[in-house]
Structure 1
């Protein structure tokens, strides 16, 4: 009888250990909203590229590998990324400024640094130095974006000189280029590296940079409705610190022609 009880006990303990091990090895599903903002993020036909997917994506993939995430990216317009993250429909979004959604959970470590700059036709006299310098121009912006020092100017739009475009990142940037070309706007504002990449890839020589706002850190942002958001942010922090210490972060950034922001 004692032997029988002992055998059942051993069997029960073995099953419990197996169950615990299986649970420990189970990947945590993490769904991240994204757009296409090169060199940070490269997408095609709604999917992140498998090869050279962008520096922000490569950093997140390293986080996923290190912390046992099952990582899924969903491409959607920026404003919808914000609303889906806020509601908890997705777990987070890539390369976000804190001003975009102050209520989200953020790691301490940025995933990129971006500087928003103004772009105009090469023969234009437009140049930005203060928000007041926008008064005599029509400016194109992307709906839902925050640009730092000109956010209040855009929100007030007291001169009705702000044109907002929507859509997925590639589509909205293409619309801004088109509006500039046909003279519907005098300038537009967008991340400098993103526009530089687009100008180089399209071989454009009739667009110039015409002033910039102060650089800002961009972060992976996690949903306030996702219970694991704090843990996910901690995962990002620990991996970025390790990548920087090992030299792997520098290797990722150099692949895309970007320097470390620290």
Structure 2
């Protein structure tokens, strides 16, 4: 005899109800056993004005956005600085919850929210006396390009770096603390030829470090959104990404996102772009 219940059996609706009740109860118990954290720890190396020195008066527009977005769900943000390579490693080993100021190509195994926090426009920089301008990969021949360890660069440039990483006359890789100021100094001393950097970051750095040489911009290369992203195996990665995206949308609708961008002297077009490299150097900081 076939004893299985069928949709027309009188007890079938009751069985469906009991199964649904048990599923909801199990989900509720799982959430109680593994609730959302009251604080998220996010790491990055300083990349001002996107994200600046942790604990400073100005921590960066991305950090401001993150704090306000997560506060809508009563979650606080702890922002810590370390080298970019270490930030990636610490997130992958679950010592921090995520990273700030990341391109989609930077860490493909991380979980990215739907909403970006800002926008990056990257270009080459050279010595002030240099007349060099980027005209494709061939123009990099016989030039020493400074790069920062574990940074993602424009797709074509990134491949060029990987192909020539072992040739120090072509690729000089920097790591540790304050790699950008070291790179600018090396270019000024003519120990290397080129540096690839976000133009807002370069403008901010040169404005706040008048002792550094004022490098010459030598060609726009790459533009892309920048994000906060969460560790690939983090138990709450999907929930945190959703909360962040919802929070960014709320801040945009309320006008607060625009206010944050403008407080850093950035454009108010939703991409947080400087108006021009020249104008960026003269924008007032908060």
Deviations 1:151-210 (A, max 9, x none): 000000179201010013xx1011101211221111111111001111122235642111
Q: For residues 238 and 187 of structure 1, what CA distance do their matches in structure 2 show?
A: 40
Q: Distance in 2 between matches of 1:33 and 1:206?
A: 29
CA change 1:26–1:86 in 2 (3 A) is closer
Deviation digits for residues 213-243 of structure 1 (CA, Å, limit 9, x no counterpart)? 1201111010012110000000110011111
Q: Alpha-carbon deviations, 1:32-55, whole Å to 9, x = none?
A: 112211111221xxx332x33210
Maintained 8 Å contact 2:69/2:251: no
Matched, 1:236 2:244: yes
**Is the Cα contact below 8 Å between 1:129 and 1:212 reproduced in 2?**
no
Taking CA–CA contacts closer than 8 Å with sequence separation of 6 or more, which of the two structures ends up with the larger relative contact order? 1
Partner of 1:218: 226
Preserved contact between residue 141 and residue 162 of structure 1 (Cα < 8 Å): yes
SS of equivalent residue, structure 2 residue 72: helix
Q: Give the counterpart of 1:258 among 266, 270, 277.
A: 266
The answer to whether structure 1 residue 104 and structure 2 residue 110 are counterparts is: yes
Aligned counterparts of 1:158 and 1:34: Cα–Cα separation in 2: 23
Q: CA deviation at 1:58?
A: 0.3
The answer to whether the 8 Å contact 1:135/1:159 transfers is no
Equivalent residues in 2 for 1:1-262, closer than 5 Å: 28-43=38-53, 47-49=54-56, 51-148=57-154, 149-157=156-164, 160=167, 161-168=170-177, 171-203=178-210, 206-259=214-267, 260-261=270-271
Structure 1 segments unaligned to the other structure (5+ residues): 1-22
**Moved >4 Å (runs of 4+):** none
User: Separation in 1 of the partners of 2:85 and 2:37?
Assistant: 29
| Structure 2 CA distance for partners of 1:158 and 1:241, relative to 1, 3 Å | closer
Cα pair 2:112 2:228 within 8 Å, conserved = yes
Would the aligned equivalents of 1:122 and 1:207 in 2 still touch at CA under 8 Å?
Answer: yes
User: What is the deviation of 1:64?
Assistant: 2.2
String of CA shifts for 1:89-116, please: whole Å, max 9, x gaps: 2110111011111010000111111111
Report which of the two has the higher share of helix: 1
Cα 1:205–1:82 shift into 2, 3 Å: closer
Q: Comparing 202-211 with 60-69, which one deviates more in the overlay?
A: 202-211
Structure 2: which 5+ runs fail to align?
Answer: 1-32, 273-286
1:128: how far off?
1.3
For the structure 1 residues 206 and 191, does the alpha-carbon distance in structure 2 shift closer, same or farther, using more than 3 Å as the test? closer
TM-score normalised by L of structure 1: 0.84
